[in-house]
Structure 1
Amino acid sequence: MSYNWKDGNDVELLINGEEFFPSVFASMRAAKHEVLLETFIIYEDKVGKELKEVLVEVASRGVKVEVMVDGYGTADLTSTFIAELTNAGVNIHAFDPRPKLMGMRTNLFRRLHRKIVVVDGEEAFIGGINFCADHLADFGPMAKQDYAVKVRGPVVTDIHQASLRLLAYNRNATHSTAEPHAFNAAVNRFAGKARMLLAIRDNEDHPNDIEEHYLRAVRSASFRLLLANAYFFPGYRLLRELRNAARRGVHVTLILQGQPDMPLVRMCSRLLYSYLIRDGVQIHEYCERPLHGKVALVDHEWATVGSSNLDPLSLSLNLEANLIIRDATFNHQLYEHLQSLAQRTCKQISLQRAKRGYWWRMPLIFVSFHFLRHFPAIAGWFPAHSPKLKPLLPVTDVSPVQDEQDVHFEQEKSL
């Protein structure tokens, strides 16, 4: 299914867990019919426990609650945690869960990386924030900088349907007997002035949609382009278009990780710096804490917020979801925020610094460029399966000590 632009939406920018968690939990608590939740990670920390309390409360009064988590990202929930949810009537589904091998996770590629919440088919949240405490400032120096949006209006119908389509891959699960609440799209009448489009990436009908929207936006830029992305190692086409935009006079600014949660990612990104900077692209490394955001804006109107990084995993393998937003007010708000980050908490990378050690990095740079040019074909080497959701159920025949330390997935075999 292709998604079309929808007019008449309201959008609210949510920065970090301090704004996201209170808003999404309040929306869930007000649910009357249904809560759909997709996320890469739920940790059993203070945020995960509050999420559990909210979902138990909501499900206990008869609201249909469907939770979809990634089998790799959310692999460490205890059986007790899962049981509290399922006993209250929450249906939990794991995307592509696989057993560990010698204690190591084996399902590395093609993850459910979307972060979506839809409440009663009328209000939705999309972004890059997982349900874990490292999205809060009091987590410490490694707290993540990240973004989401809360939306109302006609676009929510598309977001709702996208989640239902993913959920349909587990409609035969025996413990999930009731169908999700049926909603009439008419409930999502005009709520604001923003024009929006849902862009997803999957391994079937939409393998390149998010990247194509980025490419179109960069090509259309006339005077400014500002991009903040956690894991920056994009395809060759996008690299070339960023450089070409700077060459034709567009003010192109990238905000990338300066204090990474995964140092290897920054090393890969830095291999691309000189290629971009020498043609006028400005690169700022965010140094206050790890950058986990996936946002961008072009000129005065276009913006995107979502789950997709600009790296091979997000652009060619994972299930991702971004909102494309055309709204001057939202664009300005995001621009002011990102400009403040660039000026206050970032260090700009000069061409001289980017070329430091260039002689020994040159072979890596050569390999990187050719890797990026051919990665879409390389991605085809990895097994491309249809989404597989299996019910996540507690295991009851374990000791309390095991229950606190181990992962307990009971996967139904008949799918």
Structure 2
Amino acid sequence: MIKTNDSFNISNNLELVYSGEDYFSRLEAIIREAQFQIHLQMYLFENDATGKRIVNALKEAALRKVEIYVLLDGLGSLSFPSELQKDLKYSGVNIRFFAPLFSTYTFYLGRRLHRKVVVADAKVALVGGINIADKYRGSATEKPWLDYAVQLNGEIAKPLQQLCHDLYFKKRQLGNKKIKSAFNIQQNTTVRILQNDWLKGKNEICDGYIKSIRHAKKEIIIVGSYFLPGIRIIRALKKASKNKVVIKLILSGKSDLPLTRRATCFLYGKLLSYNIELFEWNESVLHGKVAVVDGNWSTIGSFNLNNLSSYGSLEMNVEILSETFSVRFQTHLNEIISQCQSITPESLKTKTTIMTKFINLMAYVVTRIVELVVTYTPYKRFYN
């Protein structure tokens, strides 16, 4: 069994973080040790045991006169209790919602805050795909959803705090000021902050995936929780396969979105025809969105390989150019693969009936239609 609480660090400035207690103990420590300012931006913040634990840490920080700004997605955190919002505000925590689902004049469906970022004092940050909820922390009887983040210490946290500040206060532009996004944290290790917000012309994460896949020479490993890539990524994977690159996809055996999983299953035949190796993770729900290419390029964050992340959501990933980090992360992902169920043309043929093919097809069609509607809606609203 993988020990997902054994994090590794490349320097004092960069550490891989796992879902489970590893992430939440770090999050609590960051809040507890903050002295001046905290920005917390999340898609999902549940009012369960884990959520209450973080709420208490935030309230304690507010008592120390730490400035706290919490930004939650209006859809993802729709169930966040209004009484808890009032309690936080009364305690001195600033909190608001990004694109509330219901407002005075409209029902808003579309552009979502999907990134998961925490920054304290412009000195330390957590960036990844992990939301605040019991399911990401796990319990004595339930394994945490499989996901990842990175902890960034030092100068690289400064632009992250600026980005969070600008979004919280609805700053539309920074004038001529350009935020630094790439940092050399040690010899042969470069870290970049990448964003995706298609409506604002930011396609950095998607472009980063495509560029790395196109330039791959040996091996690509992708963890895709809701894997429904657009045509550009499919073509890049197909070309890499023709160039004899080994491609491994770790996909959901268990999913919180059964329809999306069915839609992904519809692609299995095509992916296998490209000689792409498929593996399903069944130990827990798969929620990770990471990749490693050629043991020297890694990406970790909130970006899913589907059109919702590409065209409808605000996303953030950390891109790491480091052989040391990437080789160790690649080793970890290969250990994950050793616990997965391999999907081969033979096994797919055995377990796929005419009925399952039809169900998968319908799931794919419905999911694509939903993606189209959800991404078209904010486009029309934004430009009108």
* TM-score, L = length of structure 2: 0.85
Mapping for residues 331-342 of structure 1, pairs under 5 Å? 331-342=326-337
Q: Which residue of 1 aligns with 2:304?
A: 309
Judged with a 3 Å threshold, the aligned counterparts in structure 2 of structure 1 residues 203 and 215 are, in CA distance, closer, same or farther, namely closer
Q: Which residue of 1 aligns with 2:169?
A: 168
Is contact 1:71–1:94 with CA below 8 Å preserved after alignment?
A: yes
Q: d(CA) in 1 for partners of 2:257 and 2:274? A: 28
Shift of 1:375: 10
Whether 2:352 is the aligned partner of 1:354: answer: no
Whether 2:227 is the aligned partner of 1:224: answer: no
Secondary structure of 1:13's match?
strand
Whether 2:16 is the aligned partner of 1:27: answer: no
Q: Which residue of 1 aligns with 2:231?
A: 236
Q: d(CA) in 2 for partners of 1:130 and 1:117? A: 11
Is contact 1:259–1:286 with CA below 8 Å preserved after alignment?
A: yes
Whether 2:208 is the aligned partner of 1:205: answer: no
Q: d(CA) in 2 for partners of 1:106 and 1:231? A: 26
Whether 2:46 is the aligned partner of 1:52: answer: no
Identity of aligned residues (%): 30
Is contact 1:153–1:191 with CA below 8 Å preserved after alignment?
A: no
* TM-score, L = length of structure 1: 0.79
Q: d(CA) in 1 for partners of 2:354 and 2:186? A: 50
Shift of 1:9: 8.1
Secondary structure of 2:169's match?
helix
Secondary structure of 1:130's match?
coil
Q: Which residue of 2 aligns with 1:135?
A: 136
Is contact 2:89–2:95 with CA below 8 Å preserved after alignment?
A: yes
Judged with a 3 Å threshold, the aligned counterparts in structure 2 of structure 1 residues 363 and 291 are, in CA distance, closer, same or farther, namely closer
Structure scoring higher RCO (CA < 8 A, sep ≥ 6) equals 1
Gaps of 5+ in 1: 1-7, 172-184, 388-415
Q: d(CA) in 2 for partners of 1:246 and 1:55? A: 48
Look up the equivalent residue of 1:94 and give its one-letter code: F
Is contact 1:152–1:191 with CA below 8 Å preserved after alignment?
A: no
Q: Which residue of 2 aligns with 1:393?
A: none
Q: d(CA) in 2 for partners of 1:79 and 1:227? A: 38
Mapping for residues 187-202 of structure 1, pairs under 5 Å? 192-193=186-187, 194-202=189-197
1:94 maps to which of 73, 94, 97: 97
Is contact 1:56–1:84 with CA below 8 Å preserved after alignment?
A: no
Q: d(CA) in 2 for partners of 1:139 and 1:238? A: 39
Shift of 1:242: 1.1
Q: d(CA) in 2 for partners of 1:15 and 1:274? A: 31
Q: d(CA) in 1 for partners of 2:356 and 2:86? A: 54
Q: Residue by residue, what CA displacement relative to the aligned partner does 1:344-402 show, whole Å, maximum 9, x if unpaired?
A: 2x111011333534798489769969x97x99987763233569xxxxxxxxxxxxxxx
Q: d(CA) in 2 for partners of 1:214 and 1:341? A: 21
2:14 maps to which of 11, 27, 33: 11
Is contact 2:259–2:363 with CA below 8 Å preserved after alignment?
A: no
Look up the equivalent residue of 1:264 and give its one-letter code: L
Highest CA radius of gyration, 1 or 2? 1
Judged with a 3 Å threshold, the aligned counterparts in structure 2 of structure 1 residues 209 and 114 are, in CA distance, closer, same or farther, namely same
Q: Which residue of 1 aligns with 2:7?
A: none
Shift of 1:280: 1.1
Look up the equivalent residue of 2:83 and give its one-letter code: T
Is contact 2:42–2:114 with CA below 8 Å preserved after alignment?
A: yes
Q: Residue by residue, what CA displacement relative to the aligned partner does 1:52-93 show, whole Å, maximum 9, x if unpaired?
A: 111111111111100000011111222332222111211001
Shift of 1:274: 1.2
Q: Which residue of 1 aligns with 2:145?
A: 144
Is contact 1:72–1:107 with CA below 8 Å preserved after alignment?
A: no
Q: Which residue of 1 aligns with 2:3?
A: none
Is contact 1:47–1:131 with CA below 8 Å preserved after alignment?
A: yes
Q: Which residue of 2 aligns with 1:325?
A: 320
Q: Which residue of 2 aligns with 1:115?
A: 116
Q: Which residue of 1 aligns with 2:4?
A: none
Higher strand share: 2
Shift of 1:207: 4.2
Shift of 1:149: 0.6
Judged with a 3 Å threshold, the aligned counterparts in structure 2 of structure 1 residues 365 and 138 are, in CA distance, closer, same or farther, namely same
Aligned residues: 360
Shift of 1:213: 0.7
Q: d(CA) in 2 for partners of 1:107 and 1:143? A: 31
Is contact 1:200–1:206 with CA below 8 Å preserved after alignment?
A: no
Mean Cα deviation higher: 202-211 or 292-301: 202-211
